Amino acid sequence: MPKRLAIVTSAIALVLAPAAFVACGGDDSSDSAAKPSGASNAAQGETLEKGVTLTLWTMPNSPQPKEDLQKMVAPFTAKTGVNVDVQEVGWDVQFDRIRNAAVAGEGPDITQAGTTQVPFFAALGGFQDLTDKVEEIGGKGAYAEGIWNTTQVQGQDGTWAIPWFTEARSLYYRKDVLEKAGVDPATAFKDLDSFKATLQAIKDKVPDVQPFGAPGKKAYDLVHQVMPFVWDQGGAELNADATQSTINSPESQAGVEFMAGLITDGLFDKSQLERDGTQVENQFKGGRLAVWIGGPWVLGSIDRAEDDTWSDEARENVGVAPMPTGPSGKAYTFVGGSDLMVFKNSEHPNEAWALVKFLSEDQTQVDYAKLLGMFPARLDPQQQVGDSSENHKAFFEAIQTGRTYAPIPQWGQIENAYKTRFGNILDSAAGVGKDYNAATVKSQLDAAAKEADGLLAQSAG
């Protein structure tokens, strides 16, 4: 079967089955390719039709998602005469809404999509290939490699989305706790050995504070928490051509065992496994947790003066460090975020592309990213946000070396399989269920790999 047909057939088969995919402002540039200056050049030199209305689907990205984005696109309407109807779609229903619209050929003009969702949606055939337009926004070189990869489908030509905003996972730590433990923040998380030594020092010298925490099996992003340790050890979620799972390789197992080992060593309190991300964050705010893995949106909440969940003491004691390096000397982390996709059935494709270009402008990207507590997708405005504070700098560095998952339609279901098995392993390390040992870990990872290989086989026939 031809590769393109195989991918589409696989994606349509997945449409009929349950699936969950969750990825989840600056100064003006003189680069006219990346900065549409008016209606006449906003869409490859074609004049835009004033008075038309574009529909844009967005997810709950900010405190007031619809209102915030509507204000953000107001200058676009003022400049072009093209109206934008922003419609909010909840994360709990957005996958089904976008999938159904793509299959039926009836949807909005533009939709936000989580970065790990793009390959699945692209394979349905309901979205425009934007390859010929990429140079108008500065080309793929305007983005970090990992971020640009989220717009592709592995093994297939085409650019199916444009990166909108991005995030990475880094280590949050309490400065006051590290000071009490006698640990220098500059070297505390340099590599896996110093990371573990730091947690041990906290356990020994600040016994009333839990050293480390991360959302457990209830968290939607458990895989994002574990995979950096897998990558550090030289492991991977899939092989290079995404035809076989490698989550049960010795290297991958070593990474999973490193995180599970934090539990067996008493550095990662098992009570954290029953908490979601918000609950873990609250432990950190209250000074009951010293170190945890989180995204830049936490900095966004710290910067909002009206957010009274942060005390002045907590705000003053927040530090951020990139994930520790592994044996290879490289530090890896998960990079995600959201992209913009243009529906093939849009009655106003030129206007839709003009809006995508506007949302790709440096100033627009900085303004919106700051509102969200995220980072711009483009490198130049990313740097601007990264330079705004030492904590933002840590995230900027993480994004540059961050990794994404293989851009394949089956990834969402594979991620779910891994999430279940990772949760089982961490539970076992906490004393729930089977005894924790290397054989138990291998058994769980073998089961995850088997399920993933079955899903991958759907596109190989």
Q: Summarize pLDDT for 369-386 with one digit per residue, the tens.
A: 988 999 999 999 999 999
Provide mean pLDDT across the span 145-174.
95
CA distance 86 to 76: 13
CA distance 329 to 16: 43
Check whether 34 has a pLDDT greater than 60: no
Provide mean pLDDT across the span 62-66.
89
What's the token pair of residue 251?
């290297």
Check whether 362 has a pLDDT greater than 70: yes
Radius of gyration of the chain measured on its C-alpha atoms:
22
CA distance 9 to 457: 12
At 208 the pLDDT is 97
Measured at the CA of 237, the angle between CA 334 and CA 156, to 5 degrees, comes to 90
Check whether 126 has a pLDDT greater than 90: yes
Question: Helices in 110-155 by DSSP H: which ranges?
Answer: 118-123, 145-149
At 461 the pLDDT is 54
Check whether 21 has a pLDDT greater than 90: no
Residue-wise pLDDT tens digits, 233-280:
999 999 999 999 999 999 999 999 999 999 999 999 888 888 888 899
| Closest alpha carbon to 52 in 26, 24, 85 | 85
Residue with tokens 């997810």, as numbered in its chain:
59
Give residue 46's pLDDT band: very low, low, confident or very high (50, 70, 90).
low
Q: What is the dihedral of CA 78, 84, 90, 96, to 10 degrees?
A: -150
Provide mean pLDDT across the span 425-430.
94
Provide mean pLDDT across the span 25-37.
34
At 440 the pLDDT is 96
**This model's pTM is above 0.75:** yes
Check whether 107 has a pLDDT greater than 70: yes
Residue-wise pLDDT tens digits, 267-306:
998 888 888 888 999 999 999 999 999 999 999 888 887 8
Pairing of strands 170-174, 289-294: antiparallel
* Mean per-residue pLDDT over the chain, rounded: 89
Integer CA distances (angstroms), 54 to 9, 81, 341, in order = 31, 11, 13
Check whether 100 has a pLDDT greater than 90: yes
Pairing of strands 53-58, 83-88: parallel
CA distance 344 to 51: 21
Residue with tokens 């010929």, as numbered in its chain:
132
| Closest alpha carbon to 460 in 421, 417, 415, 409 | 409
DSSP 401-461: H-B-----TTHHHHHHHHHHHHHHHHHHHTTSSSPPSHHHHHHHHHHHHHHHHHHHHTTT-
Check whether 190 has a pLDDT greater than 90: yes
At 206 the pLDDT is 98
Residue with tokens 């509102």, as numbered in its chain:
371
Provide mean pLDDT across the span 75-85.
98
Backbone φ, ψ for residue 90 (5° rounding): -65, 150
Give residue 460's pLDDT band: very low, low, confident or very high (50, 70, 90).
low
Helix (H) or strand (E) holding 290: strand 289-294
Q: What percent of the chain has pLDDT over 70?
A: 89
